[in-house]
Amino acid sequence: MSTEGRGEQVGLAATPEVEFGVPRSWARGQKVLHPSRDSYLGVAGALYAAGYLMCVDVTAVDYCAAKQHRVLPEGVLPERFEVVAGFISHSERGRVRLRVQVPESDPTCPSLWELHAGVEALEREVFDLFGITFGGHPDMTRILMPENWQGYPLRKDYSLGRIPVQFKGAPSS
């Protein structure tokens, strides 16, 4: 897919274009906006008003040791975690991704729940597996792991541990 005229540079962070008051970049032909945690809800609301009525995904990435090796627009400081939300506009036939930097020292992000109620389970999953809490979420509890589970399994520094497996017919030790 051609990205001509979209300001995309492979491997280099260019002076950012701005949309909805935040840096904009392109990745794989898709528009990517980089709001701060403070502007996240405002940008999501502006996208909604612009016809991006459906939030199709909310997830996170743990960059742990690789946080300095990412390509981000100028002025966007890399943090350990990144919350990624995807939106689509049926009328425009377009997609937009929001990438929000979340520091390890304060792993919180505002919830999109009041604007997109369908993110309720998605944000709980991010909390459960990465330990990022969403302020304003109606039920910030674990959804996949048991309530008494220690740690967050998708964090890069999470210990894998060992679970013994007993195969049928094999001698137990």
Residue 126, token pair as written in the block: 């991010």
User: pLDDT value at position 170?
Assistant: 65
90 is a domain residue: yes
Contacts of 78 (CB under 8 A, 6+ apart): 63, 67, 68, 70, 72, 101
Whether residue 45 is contained in a domain is answered as yes
Say if residue 71's pLDDT is above 90. Answer: no
Higher pLDDT, 7 or 40: 40
Domain assignment of residue 122, given as a range: 17-135
User: Is 57 within a domain?
Assistant: yes
Q: What is the pLDDT of residue 67?
A: 61
Domain count, the chain: 1
pLDDT on residue 156: 92
Q: What is the CATH number of the domain that holds 34?
A: 3.30.460.80
Q: Which residue has the higher pLDDT, 139 or 11?
A: 139
- Average confidence score pLDDT of the chain: 88
* Most confident option among 1-15, 52-66, 155-169: 52-66
The pLDDT of residue 166: 63
Q: What is the pLDDT of residue 163?
A: 64
User: Within a domain: residue 144?
Assistant: no
Question: Would residue 158 count as lying in a domain?
Answer: no
- Tens-digit pLDDT profile for residues 84-141: 999 999 999 999 999 999 999 999 999 999 999 999 999 999 999 999 999 999 999 9
Looking at the domain assignment, is residue 64 inside a domain? yes
pLDDT category at 159 given cuts 50, 70, 90 is confident
Residues 6+ apart with CB under 8 A from 132: 60, 81, 83, 102, 107, 108, 109, 126
Contact 76, 34 (CB under 8 A): yes
Please report the pLDDT score of residue 77 as a whole number: 93
